[in-house]
Amino acid sequence: MTPEARLQAAVELLEAVNASTAPMDRTVEAFLRARRYMGSSDRREVRECAFGLLRRRARLDWWLGPGAVAADWLLDEHPTFAAVPMGDLWQGVGGSPCPAEGRFLRLSPSRHGTDGFFVAAMERRA
């Protein structure tokens, strides 16, 4: 298989895992069994690619912003609430500039030397 075909197979495997209610190992086994044309090295590469992405999923989810998605959903569903810009709340905190980009604050170990945090401040509109 070409590298592109292996990558496509890994994507299809991840889609099958997400769509299935069966344990992941059974889903992977059934997926690979249905593709007998794949050689052992192809199967290994597809499995490693898919499992590598799943192992990094928590980090990917954090970077892609599930906290922001949830906060945006809450603001959309409850129009009586409004996001308070982080810059407004940060004024006067230690004299340092606000690390927030936009309405929400994300802190990460690699950028800020802290644990990972997502902060959204909201206020109820009158």
A 10 A CB-CB count for 92 gives 6
For the beta carbon of residue 28, count every other beta carbon within 10 angstroms.
20
CA–CA dist 125, 84 (Å, integer): 11
Q: Under DSSP, is residue 35 helix (H, G, I), strand (E, B) or coil?
A: coil
pLDDT in tens, 79-118: 888 888 887 777 766 667 777 777 788 777 777 777 777 7
pLDDT digits (tens, 9 = 90+) for 67-83: 677 777 788 888 888 88
Could you tell me the pLDDT band of residue 45, with boundaries at 50, 70 and 90?
A: very high
* Rounded alpha-carbon distances, angstroms, from residue 124 to 5, 7, 75, 83: 51, 47, 10, 9
97 token code pair: 């500039």
